[in-house]
Structures are given as C-alpha cells and as structure tokens.
Structure 1
C-alpha cells in the first residue's frame, strides 16, 4: 500500500480531483444599513415615522450551508428560530417571522426567495421588491435587503 505517483497520503482525499471543481464557500454578512434605511423611509408611509436606525448593532457573519438558510424573526409562541434571526436586539420590526430563504443552487451558487413577507425583499437597492416564491440568483457582493434596515451581503469565498 504505498501511494502511487501523484497520489497524496490517504489516496488523494483532501486534494482537488481533476474535473471536480471544489465548491466555493459562500458567506453572508448581516447588519444594519443606513443608506437602505434612508431610502426605505422615503418610500414608506407614516407608520414608519417612529423607526430609528439602531446606533450600534454588531454585524453577524455566517457561512452559507445548504440546502437553505432561513431569514426572519423568532416566533415566541412556537420557539421556531430562523437561521438568520433578526429578532435579537436591536430587533428589526420590518422583518416577517418567515421573511425569505437563501437557497443553494445546483452549481453551488445561491438564490434568494421571498416567502411572501409583509414588507418584501429587495436586491442591490432596487425600489421594487422581488416576486414572492421566485428564486433570484445572487452573485458575489450582492446585497439582499429585508425589514427596515437589514442588509445581507453575500460573498463567494
């Protein structure tokens, strides 16, 4: 059992195999976004007048792992907690309990699907929300906007 020429220890495991590209790792950074908040306030009705951008909120960083990553707020009655829980202080009041999901695609990339949320989901600062239940493919650096001030920036590692 000596490894053959060109084979690493362990029979080549842990090394990229020819014709099998390593899936890229995607990460998401979640945090308040002042520019998105200001634009959202200009479009909103009087019910948004009392909202204030939190003075400080630490960004959450997570690695996207398939098949999906749920975005929303914890439901206190059932204890259901989404993967990205925006009910932690400062709670984003514009986020639905089941707001959106990030879904891994066959090629290893990701798409966002709005779950028919109350306030909608936008991508890259667009004014029009995406259609509910329709996957929108994401590229490296795309920004997914949910709630009153939350932006989720996806990066391909």
Structure 2
C-alpha cells in the first residue's frame, strides 16, 4: 500500500506571488525570519488544513476540539492568511487524494497558479503537487 505525506513549509516563491497580487485588500506581513518545515502523514479519509484557535480567540491554552486541523498551521510562525478551516484533503480510493478549498477567506491555489480553487470543488492531486494557502505556506503532497 502506498503511503502519502504532506511536507509543509514557508515558501518564499509563494510569498512573492501573494505580494504581487493586485487584488489584495490588506497588507501582506513580512516573510518569517525563522520559518519551520514539517511533515504530516496522510492517514485517514479526511485531513483538515487550517489553524486552531489560540487562547485570545476564545479557548483556553491546551484545549483541543474535533475541528482542530490535521495539518495545523497555527505556528510559529503564524501565517495570518490561513483560515481556521482553510482547505481539506480527501482520500479517494486507496491511492488518490483530492483537495478542496473550504470557503477560506484568502483562497487556495495549486502549483503556483494564479487561479483560486472554487470553494467546495474537489481537485485531484498527483504526487509532487503543491497546495498554497495563506501568505507563505506551501504544502507538497508526496508518496513514500
């Protein structure tokens, strides 16, 4: 059985594309000085991408909920362009994944494209595809 994972990283190229967009209504924050990279195994049928609420957003420190994302982009560094529930990865069969934007505020793009995904519409993924969310976050889906 093929295993899939998601490599999550602060991506300078994605950041520069976001900064160049003419339609942005809010200033883009500075690129993080100490970006982190991490990998998440894609286990299960559905993996939420987003950020959990932090204590100043109404929950106590350390509390979790059923809506905490499987790919947690809370930080540090915190990408302010990521919604609490930004996108979702869905398993399709034994060896296929799709991504859908969950109605995020700032949208989701694929493979450095300029077109935002239509919220709620599944888009098939191939190994090596890149999902772009927020101001600088890129998620690369990979087979192991």
| TM-score normalized with structure 1 length | 0.80
Q: Cα gap change, 1:136/1:90 in structure 2, threshold over 3 Å: closer, same or farther? A: same
Give the match's secondary structure for 2:69: coil
- Give matches, 1:42-53, under 5 Å: 42-43=20-21, 44-45=23-24, 47-49=26-28, 51-53=29-31
Task: Report the Cα distance in structure 2 between the residues aligned to 1:122 and 1:139, rounded to whole angstroms.
Answer: 14
Give the match's secondary structure for 1:47: coil
Superposition deviation, residue 46 in structure 1: 5.5
Q: Cα gap change, 1:46/1:119 in structure 2, threshold over 3 Å: closer, same or farther? A: closer
CA deviation vs aligned residue, 1:80-130 (integer Å, no higher than 9, x gap):
421111112110000000100111111421111110100000000110111
**Range 73-82 or range 135-144, more displaced:** 73-82
* Runs of 5+ consecutive residues of structure 2 not aligned to the other structure: none
2:45 equivalent to 1:67: yes
Q: Which of these residues, 1, 5, 12, is aligned with residue 34 of structure 1?
A: 12
Superposition deviation, residue 39 in structure 1: 0.7
* Runs of 5+ consecutive residues of structure 1 not aligned to the other structure: 1-22
Higher relative contact order (CA 8 A, sep 6+): 2
Give the match's secondary structure for 1:37: helix
RMSD: 1.4
CA deviation vs aligned residue, 1:3-26 (integer Å, no higher than 9, x gap):
xxxxxxxxxxxxxxxxxxxx2101
2:107 equivalent to 1:120: yes
Task: Report the Cα distance in structure 2 between the residues aligned to 1:137 and 1:148, rounded to whole angstroms.
Answer: 23
Total equivalences in the alignment: 134
Q: Which of these residues, 67, 73, 76, is aligned with residue 89 of structure 1?
A: 76
**Corresponding position of 2:125:** 138
Give the match's secondary structure for 1:38: helix
Give the match's secondary structure for 2:14: helix
User: After the TM superposition, which parts of structure 1 deviate over 3 Å for at least 4 consecutive aligned residues?
Assistant: none
Superposition deviation, residue 156 in structure 1: 1.3
